[in-house]
Amino acid sequence: MSVDAESTQPILQSYVGFDSITSQIEKKLLKRGFQFNVMVVGQSGLGKSTLINTIFASHLIDSKGRTQPDEPTRQTVEIHSFTETIVERGVKLRLNIVDTPGYGDQVNNENCWEPIIKYIKDQHSSFLRKELTAMRDRFIQDTRIHCCLFFISPTGHSLKPIDIVVLKKLTEVVNVVPVIAKSDSLTIEERIAFKHRIKEEMAFHNIKLYPYESDEDDEQDSALNESIQDLIPFAVVGSEKTIVVDGKTVRGRQNRWGVINVENENHCEFIHLRNFLTRTHLQDLIETTSLIHYESFRSKQLLALKENGQQQQQQH
């Protein structure tokens, strides 16, 4: 029927009750719990572990920094993954944090991004394999990286050559959210100028950052996405320590010249990042990973397999 659905929508004579499907779904999902995989990439000493612990308000991971003199410096990038389940008002979140110690720390950092890209692709690959198996699990455990937090050093100048190379490669395979680490070393003016430079450079190199534009977005979504895009990269400060400010206990850093309140919007953009990741875009991050990045990986793989198959047939 090519008639417009709206004009022929039947009017219900009495209450059916299918509107409760949302709570039926919620119940099921609550039982199952949610899975969120986040990766952190950046030079050592930029506060990556501290930021994760600050966002999720709990001590989840330890810093991998070199603290003992007899500890050797890492010669390659390692991939460390931790899983913790956190619960908030009955909602279970299985959080998988992937740390990448050693990135950008050597004198020669040529190809230091390869282990990271490989890891991301491996997760897509293992998911695809599980999907294609004849006897597959009912719910395939999702280890695909939903979000990659990329830490930019607060130089105040511009992106480094290595940042640009890595951002280009990462944005092709995963949702990338750039943050300016330890932004308490920049004054407000410096921060504004720095962000402006970074945005220019990313635009010049056509680096596609999350959130992506979508046809499905309504006005509200677009407005929200635009405001996020304006803020990116988030200038953040992390802290697990609490300080008392005006009688209130807040997370912050205490110096001889003042107190930095992590949750104060005038001090840094931590609140915006936290809300973005957990309160507004958590579900979207998971969905885009599946619908965009995984799909693109999947189609490339299957096409390649098909070509391989055809070549082999021709050989016979």
Partner 1 sequence: MAHVRRPGNRKNVKKGFQFTLMVVGASGLGRTTFINTLCDAEVVPKRECDEPEMAHIEEGIKIKPYTVELDEDGIKISLTVVDTPGFGDMIDNEYCFQEILGYLEQQYDDILSEESRIKRNRRFRDNRVHALLYFIAPTGHSLREIDIELMKRLSPRINVIPVIGKSDTLTPGELADFKKRVMEDIAHHKIPIYNFPYDPEEDDDETVEENSELRSLLPFALIGCEEEVTVNGRKVRGRQYPWGIVEVDNPQHCDFVKLRYALLSSHFQDLKEITHDYLYENYRTEKLSRITDSASDNDSNEEDEHSRLKEEQFKKEEGKLKEIEDRVQRELKEKQQELWSKEQQLMSLEAAQVQVQ
What is the rounded CA–CA span in Å between residue 194 and residue 200?
10
Give SS3 for 253.
strand
Among 59, 129, 136, 205, binds partner 1 (CB under 8 A): 205
Distances (CA, A) of 305 to 33, 119, 126, 290: 34, 21, 15, 20
47 contacts 182 by C-beta, under 8 angstroms: yes
Compare residues 30 and 164 and give the one whose CB is closer to partner 1: 164
Contacts for 189 with CB less than 8 Å, ≥ 6 apart: none
Dihedral, 283, 272, 177, 79 alpha carbons, nearest 10: -80
Among 84, 92, 169, 185, binds partner 1 (CB under 8 A): 185
DSSP 8-state class, residue 60: -
Q: Does 266 bind partner 1 (CB under 8 A)?
A: yes
* Contact positions with partner 1 (CB under 8 A) in 225-254: 253-254
- Shortest distance, position 270 Cβ to partner 1, whole Å: 13
Compare residues 68 and 311 and give the one whose CB is closer to partner 1: 68
Only one of the segments 27-35, 85-93, 122-130, 184-192 lies at the binding site for partner 1 (rule: CB under 8 A); that segment is 184-192
- Shortest distance, position 176 Cβ to partner 1, whole Å: 17
Give SS3 for 106.
coil
Q: Does 153 bind partner 1 (CB under 8 A)?
A: yes
What is the phi/psi pair of residue 91, to 5°? -95, 125
Among 106, 125, 278, 301, binds partner 1 (CB under 8 A): 106
Among 2, 22, 255, 311, binds partner 1 (CB under 8 A): 255
Q: Does 155 bind partner 1 (CB under 8 A)?
A: yes
Compare residues 104 and 145 and give the one whose CB is closer to partner 1: 104
C-alpha 86, offset from chain centre: 18
Q: Which residues bind partner 1 (CB under 8 A)?
A: 44-46, 63, 65-71, 73, 105-110, 153-162, 164-165, 182, 184-185, 187-188, 197, 200-201, 203-205, 253-261, 264, 266-267
